[in-house]
Structure 1
Amino acid sequence: MPQTHEVFNQPAPLAGYDLFAGNAALRDALKFNAPQLDTAPLAALGAKLGMQEMQQHARLANIHKPQLHTHDRFGRRVDQVEFHPSYHALMQAAVEAGLHGTPWAGEGASPHVLRAAGFMLFTELEPSVLCPISMTYAVTPALRGNPGIHHDWSTKLTSRAYDPQLRVWREKPGVTMGMGMTEKQGGSDVRANTTRAEPDGEDSWGKRLRVTGHKWFFSAPMCDAFLILAQTTSGLSCLFLPRVLPDGSLNAIRIQRLKDKLGNHANASSEVEFENATAWLVGEEGRGVPQILEMGTMTRLDCALGTSGLMRQALALALNHTSQRKAFGKTLIEQPLMRNVLADLALESEAATALAIRLARAFDRRGDGHEAVMARLLTPVAKFWICKRGSPFAQEAMECLGGNGYVEEGGEGVMARIYREMPLNSIWEGAGNIMALDLLRAIRKADAAAALAHELSPVKGSHPALDRLVAALPTRVEEMATEAEARRLAQDVALAVQAALLLQSAPPAVATAFCASRIGGDWGQAFGTLGAGTDFDAIIARAMPR
């Protein structure tokens, strides 16, 4: 039988490649921020995550959505979520890579930077499992507020063993943790929480309470324990809520339903109710808000890291496609307009990587006065700006693939998953306005102008447009009195720091083009509007994933 058509001019999928070896921007950011870092674990992780087998796990975990089972066949309440085996394979890989609580074990040099780079690489493969991974990272140090729980749980939270079984903590080689803070009537305004906790005696874990209420977003409900907020007699307090109680019985955490959300389909986000559930006080009673803010700092770092990772993967897919697909007599990547778009995306991706890794460096050096201030300032700035750039970035990268990128099938179907996932990090853990307000709080409590001046001083005189922006920042920071301008300030601080980092760590072609476009104004209002003098060849060659 004759064939009706021959398939040609369809790019081979981006598979079987090394995510770390092909990411020059990440490698250079690591050299600049943590020159003594042993990158061997990242090299091994990058090779593993680019394997077709791991990509298959990511695909299957999203096709086969988690299933909620509220009762067993005999009518007993079980409140369990069933995941596809590929989800567990991804979780195991993330835990084995130490992307959860391992930085708190104090292993090696620059553990937070090492973990941040691994987190970004893993996001390129699949971000869904990084929700419980990120929450475990954020809540582990908070448990120091309860010596008994910290003694029993800390080594298991930093263990590289993944155990999805529902059983008491002492029988498990490793555990994960989640958070439950927001309620349907409050969202980010956690002071509006109505969940209540009543005293129920004391034991080896300290003050025990009985909790009644609900949580509107309770992500990764199969974690082993959660930190939640509830109203006590002294005000909003932080509580430790295990799924399985010390005596082996199930805690009264009632999963009402799983969210049908826009982003990834592999992870479970739920609504829950507490029916006289058992919890223990963590930290000072009535001081729950400061504790959740401290934990939020770490999850906001992960939002910036996650979006940076998604940007990199979207760029890699666009480069892979356009270097193979032909139109009008030559490959897309040879077309002048496409080269402008790809180079512009590469600049944005590298700048996001540079800022996110710089923030992680501050977490490794919290004992240093300058680094402590920069951690406080750059957390809302990086979370705001990088995550805000994510969605338009994904849309433009998808456009590079045309209709193939819009279809959720095959290798290029990953782009559609990225596009759906991009808004998450901008919304989660405080949307744009919350981040801008948090920047104002940080400015009022720290000598922000002096810290920024010190941070930006190494590049003074490198670019006239950057010099003008840097010169104006101290006055703007010191005189910032209106909330209405807070977003603009967050944007400009982000751009100034990104430019300074690229001038110190990236090739001249990248740094010059970034300063000329983002700060000097030689740019339009969409990607692909770089000036004609841009060194497109050098920027694109640097960004190629292979």
Structure 2
Amino acid sequence: MEPSSSDNGFFQELPELPNQYYDDVSFQRVLKFFIPEDLRRQVEPELAQLGEDVLAPQIFDLITDAERNLPYLRGSGRNALGRPVSELVTGEGWRGLQAFGIERGIVAYNYVKDHVEYGAHARVLQMLRFHLWEASAASTTCPGAMTDGAARLLQRHLANKYSFKADSMQRKVLQNAFDRLISRDPRRAWTSGQWMTERSGGSDVSQTETVATFVGNDAGGSDSDGQPLGPWSIDGFKWFSSATDAGMTILLAHTQPGKGLSAFFAPMRRKRDASAPSIRVMTGSTHNLKDLELNGVRIQRLKDKSGTRPVPTAELELKGLRAWMIGEEGGGIREIATVLAITRVHCSIACLGLTGRALGVAKAYSLKRAISSEAGGRSRLLLYRSPLHMQTLADLTGDYHCLMLLTLYTAHIMGLEERQPVTVTGKSLLDPPPELVGPLLRALSSLHKAYVCKQSVPLLHAVCMEALGGIGYLMNTESEALNMARLFRDGTVNAIWEGTTDVLSTDLLRTLKHHKTGKTSLDALEWLVKTAVGQSAAAALLLPAFTNLRARIEKNSVDALLTDAREILFEMAEILIVALMVADAHSDKSAVAEAMAQRFLLKKGFLNKDPDVTRAAASGTVEQRLALNTAIVYGPKGPYVQQSSKL
């Protein structure tokens, strides 16, 4: 034997990361499940190209740059003589990745007229594009999510003839902002902030200390496009504001005692008063901002976070921020709900996009990495031939698939709510009665985000780190495509953003117990379960489970149920997931999808824990189980499946 050295001996071959559009079995299944065949054929070339482009070497170079050259305040917020300035500097990697997303219309996809024929399917297709882009985006999808939410809010008001007069100045201002939010030109496009969090309340916006005062349009001034600044002047302090380099923001503020919170639109920049100190945002040499200043905003400091580090997240002091009110005074919670419904789907998609990429790496690694075939033995076999390793990957793939179904179903209902069809039958899972669309979305909004983002944390850990061992724990910036530690670190934040699990569990409980709309939301969820399972064998398991849970919710008060709100949310989510998995398996009679549904039923306690039932679910020889697990992970054309199975 020759001893190894720094340059000699065994070196593991790097795995080759394939195009996720083709490689991700769950991605292909949900695309087939939610999108009609004729539309799939139409969008396939563009989706496949996006899946290829996000893996380009220059994209990974931009990721590395974004992680190394983090945003900072020049001079720590002061100039050389001590005058306060807010000069935010972002790196080339961040700006390059943000430009890529804008040019590809990652946000615009759901709004541009070119896709009007996609109808309600545009929202699901948009989220699938975000899914492909997520792991390569270095968290530029965070401002992308808020931009999407702001675009929908402005779109809704611009389409409502009662929101303001047709020729009003506010309509012109908001139309200009909307056009920028959905632009594919990085030089013109805006991203949006979303400012709600304050020191006093966190997710509890009722404790907001920001105050808006009506000063009228006569106060003068204009934004960066020469549009008049709004008639409201806002003062306060925002504790956690992502996308500090954005072009605009949506925020909440009080107007007068007893009125409640109102929602506001504010441009981030205004024409600079020559007599005022220079307060500006610099996002690169391509932007000429010397005549602009921040619109009554001072960046106090940037947050130092464990993950999503390239995102410029800051504490902001507002003094004289000029803004336009959106909606009715005191109706801010209702307005911001439109934004939150969208950003919560983005949180789930972010988790799934990161998990999908990690699974892709784990699968590719399993095709290259060999282990001992027996304890102490010298014979070797590749990981994809290891029964234990493939059982683990199959279990993780099943968990990933069920979260995909729940998230994309929520996105589908959102698409229906945004573009209500003229005629529906109410007989299909994807075609609910119109009167149930809104109630379904209200319940699913909190439910899917809490469940998916929480369950994704251990899932990401298992896929990103355990599946690759020590390699998965390293910050592999020298081989950025293998940087699983970055994916895990960035994914954990989604269980906190846009509502923690406790906050969202409370939201769901209040939705289902609402004195006017709670019953309708429960009716909508019951319709989903019954329609999904139909006359299948799973109906005998799921319908009693749902009936018992509904009776518990209806029988008890919110206060009596509050302690168990998490348990209630998780139980409801798992009932819905099984229903969706049954419908998915039934859609093409897939043995693989059936096996995943059966395993989920067993894992979550829907099946009797009798040992005989467990053995029946795990029946078959080692070779048969290995073939099934490989089909779950790699699909029917997987490497081992082709050799040994017709699955």
- TM-score (norm. length: structure 1): 0.90
Report what 2:139 is aligned to.
128
Q: How does 1:24-423 map to 2 (within 5 A)?
A: 24-35=25-36, 36-37=39-40, 38-39=42-43, 40-69=45-74, 70-72=77-79, 77-106=84-113, 107-108=115-116, 109=118, 110-143=121-154, 144=157, 147-163=171-187, 173-202=188-217, 208-233=231-256, 234-245=259-270, 249-250=292-293, 251-328=295-372, 329-366=380-417, 367=420, 368-397=434-463, 398-409=465-476, 410-411=479-480, 413-423=482-492
Report what 2:603 is aligned to.
518
Deviation for aligned residue 1:448 = 2.9
Q: State how far apart, in whole Å, the 2-side matches of 1:132 and 1:115 are.
A: 15
SS of 2:324's partner is strand
SS of 2:252's partner is strand
Conserved in 1, the CA contact under 8 Å of 2:73 and 2:302? yes
Change in Cα spacing, 1:212 to 1:453, as seen in structure 2 (3 Å) is closer
Change in Cα spacing, 1:404 to 1:471, as seen in structure 2 (3 Å) is same
Conserved in 1, the CA contact under 8 Å of 2:347 and 2:494? yes
Change in Cα spacing, 1:543 to 1:359, as seen in structure 2 (3 Å) is farther
Q: Give the counterpart letter for 1:351 in structure 2.
A: C
Change in Cα spacing, 1:427 to 1:463, as seen in structure 2 (3 Å) is farther
Q: State how far apart, in whole Å, the 2-side matches of 1:61 and 1:503 are.
A: 42
Report what 2:543 is aligned to.
470
Higher alpha-carbon deviation: 327-336 or 219-228: 327-336
Q: State how far apart, in whole Å, the 2-side matches of 1:7 and 1:177 are.
A: 52
Deviation for aligned residue 1:215 = 0.5
Q: What 5-or-longer segments of structure 1 have no aligned partner?
A: 164-172
Q: State how far apart, in whole Å, the 2-side matches of 1:214 and 1:418 are.
A: 31
Q: Any idea what the Cα deviations from partners look like across 1:370-396, whole Å, max 9, x if unmatched? A: 332222221211101111111111221
SS of 1:450's partner is helix
Q: State how far apart, in whole Å, the 2-side matches of 1:184 and 1:12 are.
A: 46
Q: Give the counterpart letter for 2:240 in structure 1.
A: F
Q: State how far apart, in whole Å, the 1-side matches of 2:262 and 2:482 are.
A: 44
Conserved in 2, the CA contact under 8 Å of 1:436 and 1:486? yes
Conserved in 1, the CA contact under 8 Å of 2:60 and 2:481? no
SS of 1:278's partner is strand
SS of 1:341's partner is helix
Q: State how far apart, in whole Å, the 1-side matches of 2:352 and 2:637 are.
A: 16
Report what 2:287 is aligned to.
none
Conserved in 1, the CA contact under 8 Å of 2:23 and 2:634? no
SS of 2:262's partner is strand
SS of 2:139's partner is coil
SS of 1:365's partner is helix
Change in Cα spacing, 1:402 to 1:477, as seen in structure 2 (3 Å) is same
Q: State how far apart, in whole Å, the 2-side matches of 1:246 and 1:102 are.
A: 31
Q: State how far apart, in whole Å, the 2-side matches of 1:119 and 1:424 are.
A: 17
Q: Any idea what the Cα deviations from partners look like across 1:455-512, whole Å, max 9, x if unmatched? A: 2224234344x63233221342254131223222322232232223233335322332
Conserved in 1, the CA contact under 8 Å of 2:350 and 2:491? no
Conserved in 1, the CA contact under 8 Å of 2:466 and 2:472? yes
Q: Any idea what the Cα deviations from partners look like across 1:206-234, whole Å, max 9, x if unmatched? A: 96122221101010100011111112123
Q: State how far apart, in whole Å, the 1-side matches of 2:452 and 2:638 are.
A: 21
Report what 2:495 is aligned to.
426
Change in Cα spacing, 1:385 to 1:222, as seen in structure 2 (3 Å) is same
Q: Any idea what the Cα deviations from partners look like across 1:320-377, whole Å, max 9, x if unmatched? A: 2222111111122222221111001111111111221111111111133333222222
Report what 2:580 is aligned to.
501
Q: State how far apart, in whole Å, the 1-side matches of 2:581 and 2:11 are.
A: 36
Largest Rg, 1 or 2: 2
Q: Give the counterpart letter for 1:218 in structure 2.
A: S
Q: RMSD across aligned C-alpha pairs, in angstroms?
A: 2.7
SS of 1:441's partner is helix
Deviation for aligned residue 1:530 = 12
Conserved in 1, the CA contact under 8 Å of 2:242 and 2:312? yes
Conserved in 1, the CA contact under 8 Å of 2:271 and 2:292? yes
Conserved in 2, the CA contact under 8 Å of 1:49 and 1:125? yes
Conserved in 2, the CA contact under 8 Å of 1:212 and 1:275? yes
Q: Any idea what the Cα deviations from partners look like across 1:183-223, whole Å, max 9, x if unmatched? A: 01110111101111222113686961222211010101000
Conserved in 2, the CA contact under 8 Å of 1:103 and 1:115? yes
- TM-score (norm. length: structure 2): 0.77
Change in Cα spacing, 1:531 to 1:332, as seen in structure 2 (3 Å) is farther
Conserved in 1, the CA contact under 8 Å of 2:349 and 2:407? yes
Change in Cα spacing, 1:79 to 1:417, as seen in structure 2 (3 Å) is same
Q: Does 1:532 align with 2:618?
A: yes
Report what 2:286 is aligned to.
none
Give aligned pairs, total. 530
Report what 1:169 is aligned to.
none
Q: State how far apart, in whole Å, the 2-side matches of 1:161 and 1:137 are.
A: 16
Q: Give the counterpart letter for 2:339 in structure 1.
A: M
Change in Cα spacing, 1:8 to 1:392, as seen in structure 2 (3 Å) is same
Deviation for aligned residue 1:111 = 1.6
Change in Cα spacing, 1:88 to 1:206, as seen in structure 2 (3 Å) is closer
Q: Give the counterpart letter for 2:635 in structure 1.
A: R
Q: Quick one: percent identity of the two aligned structures?
A: 27
Change in Cα spacing, 1:71 to 1:186, as seen in structure 2 (3 Å) is same
Conserved in 2, the CA contact under 8 Å of 1:22 and 1:544? no
